[in-house]
Amino acid sequence: MRVAVIDIGTNTTRLFVADLDGRHISAELTRISRVTRLGAGVDADAILSPAALAREFTVLDAYAGEIAELAVDRTVAVMTSAVRDAANGPAFAAEVHARYGIDAQILTGEQEAALTYRGATDTVAPDSGERILVVDIGGGSTELVLGHGRTAEFHVSAQAGVVRQADRHLHGAEATAAELAALRADVAATLAAGVPLSLRSGVQRTLAVAGTPTSLAAIDLALDPYDPTRTHGYRLSLERVQSLEARLLALSADERRNLPGLHPDRAGVIVPGTAILLAVMDLFGLDAIEVSEHDILRGTALWLSSGEPLVAR
């Protein structure tokens, strides 16, 4: 079976097409990412703006053509923080279904976390007893999922995402010291409120997915063009992430847009993303994270192969 997964996030909209052999992914055919900033302004106004929707449908039109060319058997669109937080989110999901005839799912935080953990741990040994933390820094929220091996046991969807934090705290092209301090304090408090003290120790392996960690790995490797085979599994120590943050803060907005390894469309959110990652590492006492290209896209494809209910609502 050939499946397509569209991940409609707060900052990016991504397309993943894969062939499934039973309950396994046998081949990845396409992986595309486009920055749409669908969630711009949602934190303040609680709606998806007409401009953001126009950007979104332009990208979805292109993805629909790609899906048609690849003769996909089933397509699902999963929608996360921005859509579930917006008053017009259900209307947007209904329009996506009407325009493209695809299954459009607004995920709960629980569903998002479960699918992300499933994708990130797909290649973990079935009998692994490792205590694993999966970190997914999104545009509107950050998903933290704790488990053992392939079994998720705790999750929180914290309202600390790169677009949300940028909209809330960063008001010019260059962040001021006061703005950064407020952003860091907000993120630290939000994460601490969501994770009980008893769960913050004993993590043996941390898998960090999505644009912030993959971009930091690409910057560290000076990748041009981007190569997911080199970022997947890349280890970033706490000291290296701190060094990368200092490097990013020393650059102007224009210099960040031209930085090897960083897509220009991510230049405006890499600073809050790095701050969130450092806050997660501080909360759990982590000395390093492992960058993973396996995320909610892969997890959703695996769910489609299983025939199981999405996740209990």
CATH number for the domain that contains residue 19: 3.30.420.40
Write out the residue range of the structural domain in which residue 98 sits.
2-110
Q: Are residues 128 and 171 in the same domain?
A: yes
The structure's pTM equals 0.87
Q: Are residues 72 and 220 in the same domain?
A: no
The answer as to whether 311 is a domain residue is no
Q: Are residues 213 and 267 in the same domain?
A: yes
The answer as to whether 173 is a domain residue is yes
Q: Are residues 80 and 225 in the same domain?
A: no
* Alpha-carbon dihedral sign for residues 168, 172, 173, 176: negative
Q: Are residues 43 and 182 in the same domain?
A: no
Per-residue pLDDT of 238-292, as tens digits, reads 999 999 999 999 999 899 999 999 989 888 889 999 999 999 999 999 999 999 9
**Mean pLDDT, residues 3-13:** 93
**Confidence at residue 131, expressed as pLDDT on a 0 to 100 scale:** 93
Round to whole Å and give the CA distance between 292 and 299. 13
Round to whole Å and give the CA distance between 28 and 157. 28
Assign 233 to helix, strand or coil: coil
- Quickly state the pLDDT bin for 311 (edges 50, 70, 90): low
Structure tokens that stand for 276 in this block: 């969130």
Answer yes or no: is pLDDT of 310 > 70: no
Residue bearing the bigger pLDDT, 44 or 166: 166
Q: Are residues 55 and 157 in the same domain?
A: no
Average pLDDT, the chain: 91
- Could you give the number of structural domains in the chain? 2
Q: Are residues 68 and 146 in the same domain?
A: no
Q: Are residues 34 and 98 in the same domain?
A: yes
Q: What is the DSSP string of 77-131?
A: EEE-HHHHHSTTHHHHHHHHHHHH--EEEE--HHHHHHHHHHHHTTTS-TT---E
Q: Are residues 129 and 99 in the same domain?
A: no
Q: Are residues 145 and 260 in the same domain?
A: yes
